[in-house]
Amino acid sequence: MTAAVDTPQAYVRAYADFERGLGPDGAEVLRDRRRDAIERFRAWGFPSARDEEWRHTSVAPIAQGPFLPLLPRLEAPSVPLDSFAPLAPDPDLAGRVVFVNGYFAPELSALEKLPAGVAAGSLAAAWGAHDERVIRHLARHAAYAEEPFTALNTAFFGDGAFLHLARGCAVDAPIHVLFVTVPEPQTAVAHPRLLILAEENSRAAVVESYAGAAPGAYLSNAVGEIVLAPGARVDHCRLQREAAGAFHISDLCVSADREARFRSTCITFGGRLVRNRVHAMLAGEGADATLNGLFLANGHQHVDNHTVLEHGRPGCASHQYYKGVLGERAAGVFCGRIRVHPGAWKTDAYQASRSLLLSDTAQMRAQPQLEIHADDVRCSHGATVGRLAADAIFYLRARGIGERQARVMLTRAFAAEIVQQAGVPAVEAALEEQVAARLDEMMA
């Protein structure tokens, strides 16, 4: 395993070797964007408590950890798929695209059932073939100029998932994109990448999930870009089930054009330190975005959810609803920002954060924010943090239900509200089972 590092210069030196290992095709298409990204990281370094966006989340264990990337590899490490519990049975899926340590694993993927008009596979293959769609959008929406970890991913990702929906294409069953991290003797870092391009009036449901193959410490630094053309609709469900000792950083950037619809549900189970960021830009009139989230944190877990919803044009609507359940000494952060740009009249935006504490030592910080630069808008936000209501427990006990079972029932109901809004019916039952099992584990 590589030695501990704590300076940006070490990553700059590693990038020089990494770029040489990409070869002429891999380096040429994205060279300028990669070099700009590593230069941005060199100037910033890792974020600290002095940075407003990170003041409640210390990344010192990552900055000082053995997470320098190695040379690009030609293929994904071998790993048996049955070692990971599937999110849903394969018959319920339109296709499965699997990546191990950020690299496409075709032998674990199942793409034969994808309908006409849908392309799914390796980003590296697409940019190696000089696919104009990839060249035009890749690393154009994710804000590597503002986010240090996004800059690291942009510099060091060697492959990723590419999903393209042709104009008017409709996919009824969900497409599952699975990212697996397998700590190896030489490395403990992966930079997963996702690019989804939904053309005009297309429609699909996408399940993006993360899992770890070993309990040790590793870093999964993921970046996703989703671009919706006019009238497109994407229902997106993100499930994070990393190993208990993992560090998971993610940045999802969405651009929605006129009358486009985007709905995302982010569910977080695993990881020692987790930071999820979602940035959605409503760039066309009448665009609509829903960002929901649920995290279940126990032990010494730290889970930080940041959202930014930008209303760039008139007549757009957005909804954010995040919930957290925290036990033992877990800590949670929610920072949600609604930004209404000048001229974005008729905006309708709502944001709420609700957190449930199962112990006296769990902590939650909520920071809802509104930034409004237009008239004739309707915006609201709210946040609550607390324990289970005593009268609700009394109500159930008065009907013959034991106190522990009453607490379990109320906590499951609290979490189920988010799962039932996921918008991907084929996987909601599986999600409910996993959430219930995780809550039972936390409340044992």
Cα maximum dimension of the chain: 72
Residue 291 · residue 278 · CB < 8 Å: yes
Burial class, 12, CB count within 10 angstroms (exposed 0-12 / middle 13-18 / buried 19+): middle
Residue of 290, 276, 366 whose CA lies nearest to 321: 290
Residue 76 · residue 101 · CB < 8 Å: yes
Residue 381 · residue 368 · CB < 8 Å: yes
**b/e sequence 235-250, b meaning 16+ C-beta within 10 Å:** bbbbbbbbbbbbbbbb
The number of beta carbons lying within 10 Å of the beta carbon of residue 90 is 11
pLDDT at 287: 98
Residue 296 · residue 269 · CB < 8 Å: yes
Residue boundaries of the structural domains of the chain: 8-284, 392-444
pLDDT at 74: 66
List residues bridging with 98 in a β-sheet.
178
- Distance, CA of 47 to CA of 62 (rounded, Å): 11
- Distance, CA of 174 to CA of 79 (rounded, Å): 24
pLDDT at 21: 83
- In the predicted model, residues of the chain with pLDDT beneath 50 are 1-5
Backbone dihedral angles phi then psi of residue 409, each to the nearest 5 degrees? -60, -45
pLDDT digits (tens, 9 = 90+) for 177-227: 999 988 776 668 999 999 999 999 999 999 999 998 777 789 999 999 999
CA angle 125, 130, 133 (to 5 degrees): 95
pLDDT at 4: 44
Report long-range pairs for 111-118 (Cβ below 8 Å, ≥24 apart): 114/171, 114/175, 115/169, 115/171, 116/169, 117/165, 117/166, 117/167, 117/168, 117/169, 117/202, 118/94, 118/163, 118/164, 118/165, 118/166, 118/169, 118/171, 118/175, 118/204
pLDDT at 186: 63
Using CA atoms, how far residue 244 sits from 184, 298, 301, 416, 441, in Å, is: 17, 10, 8, 23, 13
